[in-house]
Amino acid sequence: MMLSTSNVVDISEERNEQNICETMVHEYLEELNNIIEQYQNEFDRKKNYLIDYTDDMEKASHNDTSIIDPMVNEKVRQQQ
């Protein structure tokens, strides 16, 4: 069975379209992964901040409640 020139061109175009689509999907997935990584980093940063903040507050409440206000102000300044 011989393939006509038009059939060969059709097959070639289909492969090219598939490659283009695969590349587009791959690029989109990379973008999504980057966005997810950014959100994960932001989440980790905030989580760690809150863990430290909670630990500091707990220590302060056991030691001296008069130091809580300065600690809160310092944490707010650090966050900004």
Contact 70, 63 (CB under 8 A): no
Average pLDDT of the segment spanning 41-69 = 74
pTM here is 0.53
User: For all residues of the chain together, what is the average pLDDT?
Assistant: 79
59 contacts 68 by C-beta, under 8 angstroms: no
Contact call for residues 39 and 47 (beta carbons, < 8 A): no
Q: Taking residues 39-59, what's their average pLDDT? A: 84
Q: Considering the chain, what percentage of its residues have pLDDT values greater than 90?
A: 38
Q: How many of the other CB atoms lie within 10 Å of CB of 72? A: 14
